[in-house]
């Protein structure tokens, strides 16, 4: 089936296939065509250009996009969208003065979500997660990375990864799976971190590799969670099983996690609310992309990732939601780009690059997603009538999306 979108006010993020990410000053460039058409065939982008060169509209299925912008769907490279229940009581506890750390120390936080998930059936977990995925697709997300990490037992980590596998099979968007067994030390292993890492290495990883349940491996490298030594041990064995590292690092403290992740060839280092000069140096000599999660900073009232420091050093930057029940109960990429403009002093062009092509790079899919390129997947956002693309992050909190197309089909 073919679908022709005509009279597009401005078609955004037009790229040659050879671009897999954009870095430094280039992030300020967003190639566009005004008064454009876009032609999709089945699930692929096959042509685009100025309306003067538009194919014969009488022969095609058409959508008239007068006054509207068209752009590739968001690529959300960091989520924990598979979880059971919510943690709104902890939200209220924080308002009343407890810190995120204090809540975690008294057995709340990740351990609270783990207990809920352990007591939830795979079918129920799938149902709750599917609903969240469907909701973020309506907000323009066309590719998403999903982590395990709320299971923390062999059985429940596998349950999460099997739910991710079912989501891959039953939804049209692109999904990448990450094994985050090392998200927290479960109650049963309190004071015995190495014992839990043994369980990850000996009992979880071999099954995950054998059943092909994950592409990436993650560790929450942070004081009170997993040390540099712990992180290195897990990444090393994960890599032996063919899993590429994508690491939670520098959320609260910087102590060498970035350099370590880079040394292990991590695809991305995520969070970086704290950042040292040596982190920047390590990233400059690598293909590892930093990923910022501004909704998490917003929700927890912690510092924002210093985007200017990273971009002005010539580095690429991706933006993602971190959708999870504890630090970011929102999967809205539109809010992410707004917040990145408002709080991180990124330009609208930089945020759109960070949320499309660079997000795709951060989940290893930028050859097929993240830009308007002939041959790439037909995952498209059509906005409502708006004055310009600057208006998208500017008028925050409002839904500017009119239609979402996934694999060439309109999402209804």
The number of angstroms, rounded, from the C-alpha of 204 to the middle of its chain's C-alpha atoms is 24
Question: Which of the ranges 106-114, 253-261, 355-363, 384-392 carries the binding residues for ligand NIG, by CB under 6 A?
Answer: 106-114
CB of 68 to ligand NIG, least distance (A): 34
Of 10 and 222, nearer to ligand NIG (C-beta) is 222
Number of residues that bind ligand NIG (CB under 6 A): 12
Closest-CA residue to 244 (of 264, 222, 220): 264
Candidate list 21, 68, 162, 248; residue touching ligand NIG; CB under 6 A: 248
322 is a site residue for Fe ion (CB under 5 A)? yes
- The residue range among 97-105, 164-172, 280-288, 316-324 that interacts with Fe ion, by the rule CB under 5 A, is 316-324
Q: How many residues does the chain have?
A: 412
Query: Which 112-131 residues touch ligand NIG, going by CB under 6 A?
Result: 113
Residue 322 interacting with ligand NIG (CB under 6 A): yes
Does 218 contact Fe ion by CB under 5 A? no
Q: Are 99 and 90 in contact (CB under 8 A)?
A: no
333-344 and 348-355 helices, crossing angle to 10°: 140
Report CA Rg, the chain.
21
Q: Is the dihedral of CA 108, 114, 115, 121 positive or negative?
A: positive
Is the Cβ of residue 63 or residue 110 nearer to ligand NIG in the bound state?
110
Return the residues of window 212-231 that contact ligand NIG according to CB under 6 A. Answer: 220
Site string for ligand NIG, 325-364 (x = CB under 6 A): xxx-------------------------------------
Q: Which of 251, 268, 366, 379 binds ligand NIG (CB under 6 A)?
A: 251
Footprint of ligand NIG on 287-306 (CB under 6 A): 296
Q: Closest distance between ligand NIG and the C-beta of residue 110, in Å?
A: 5
Give per-residue burial for 216-250: e unless 16+ CB within 10 Å, then b: bbbbbbbeebbbeebbbbbbebbeeeebbbbbbbb
User: Residue 9 burial by CB count (10 A; 0-12/13-18/19+): exposed, middle or buried?
Assistant: buried
Q: Is 273 in the site for Fe ion (CB under 5 A)?
A: no
- Is residue 181 near ligand NIG by the rule CB under 6 A? no
Chain centroid, CA 317 distance in Å: 12
DSSP bridge partners of 49: 37
Taking the C-alpha atoms of residue 89 and residue 329, their distance in angstroms, rounded to an integer, is 13
* By the rule CB under 5 A, 76 interacts with Fe ion: no
Parallel, antiparallel or unpaired: strands 44-50 and 32-41: antiparallel
CB of 205 within 8 A of CB of 234?
Answer: no
- Give 274 or 322: the residue with its C-beta nearer to Fe ion: 322
> Is 140 or 149 the residue whose CB approaches Fe ion more closely?
149
Contact residues toward Fe ion (CB under 5 A) are 322
Contact residues toward ligand NIG (CB under 6 A) are 109-110, 113, 220, 248, 251, 296, 322, 324-327
């Amino acid at each position: 089936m073919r679908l022709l979108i005509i009279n597009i006010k401005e078609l955004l993020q037009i790229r040659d296939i050879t671009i897999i990410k954009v870095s430094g000053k280039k992030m300020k460039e967003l190639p566009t065509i005004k008064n454009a058409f876009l032609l999709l065939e089945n699930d692929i982008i096959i042509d685009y250009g100025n309306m003067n060169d538009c194919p014969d509209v009488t022969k095609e299925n058409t959508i008239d996009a007068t006054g509207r912008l068209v752009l590739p769907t968001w690529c959300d490279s960091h989520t924990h969208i598979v979880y059971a229940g919510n943690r709104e009581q902890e939200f209220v506890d924080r308002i009343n003065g407890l810190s995120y750390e204090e809540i975690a120390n008294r057995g709340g936080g990740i351990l609270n979500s783990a207990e809920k998930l352990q007591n939830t059936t795979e079918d129920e977990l799938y149902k709750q997660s599917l609903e969240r995925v469907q909701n973020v697709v309506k907000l323009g997300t066309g590719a998403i990375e999903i982590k395990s990490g709320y299971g923390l037992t062999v059985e429940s980590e596998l349950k999460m990864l099997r739910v991710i596998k079912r989501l891959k099979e039953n939804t049209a968007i692109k999904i990448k799976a990450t094994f985050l067994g090392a998200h927290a030390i479960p109650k049963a292993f309190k004071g015995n971190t190495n014992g839990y890492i043994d369980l990850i290495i000996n009992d979880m990883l071999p099954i995950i590799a054998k059943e092909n349940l994950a592409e990436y491996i993650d560790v929450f490298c942070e004081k009170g969670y997993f040390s540099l030594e712990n992180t290195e041990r897990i990444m090393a064995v994960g890599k032996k099983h063919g899993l590429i590292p994508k690491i939670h690092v520098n959320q609260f403290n910087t102590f060498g996690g970035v350099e370590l992740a880079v040394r292990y060839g991590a695809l991305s280092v995520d969070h970086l609310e704290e950042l040292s000069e040596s982190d920047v140096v390590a990233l400059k000599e690598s293909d590892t992309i930093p990923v910022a999660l501004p909704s998490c900073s917003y929700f927890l009232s912690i510092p924002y990732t210093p985007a200017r420091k990273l971009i002005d050093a010539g580095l690429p930057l991706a933006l993602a939601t971190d959708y999870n029940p504890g630090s970011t109960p929102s999967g809205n990429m539109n809010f992410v780009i707004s917040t990145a403009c408002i709080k991180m002093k990124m330009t609208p062009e930089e945020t759109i690059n960070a949320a499309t092509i660079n997000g795709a790079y951060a989940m290893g899919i930028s050859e097929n997603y993240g830009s308007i390129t002939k041959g790439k997947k037909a995952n498209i956002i059509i906005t409502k009538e708006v004055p310009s693309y600057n208006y998208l992050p500017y008028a925050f909190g409002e839904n500017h999306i009119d239609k979402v197309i996934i694999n060439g089909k309109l999402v209804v």
